Amino acid sequence: QVQLVESGGGSVQAGGSLRLSCAASGYTYSHPYMAWFRQAPGKGREGVAFMNTDSGTTYYADPVKGRFTVSQDNGKNILLLQMNSLKPEDTAMYYCAATRYYIINWSDATNYYYWGQGTQVTVSS
């Protein structure tokens, strides 16, 4: 049974930082295409950052470029999202997603097969 478990969310003031973790387990086959999404109340799910964990290739949504960094802890099969200079508009539920199949549009949520339960990030002004 594949599981993605996010942690690290919380409440911070604008300008602060948080680091989210996504622990993956239960894979029979490698699922190298992983991403972070977020969803604010009343809005659709938005792609935040992507990583091909085999090649190390990363992509970011424009609103978070220069502030967020996606990385992996290979030894522990964990995907990380370092979030700096947080803004109130970053407030959302953050989800980790994964798939084993090649993706053309990384920010399309329908491309991902496995999802975590989410972790809440709240940024106050």
21: CB partners within 8 A, 6+ apart:
6, 7, 8, 78, 79, 80, 81
Give residues with Cβ within 8 angstroms of 35, minimum separation 6: 47, 48, 49, 50, 51, 96, 97, 98, 106, 107, 112
| pLDDT tens column, 12-34 | 999 999 999 999 988 877 889 99
- Could you list the mean pLDDT of each consecutive 10-residue stretch along the chain, which spans 125 residues? 94 98 88 95 96 95 98 86 98 97 94 96 97
Distance CA 105, CA 110 (A): 10
Q: How high is the pLDDT of residue 30?
A: 82
Report residue 125 CA to chain centroid gap.
23
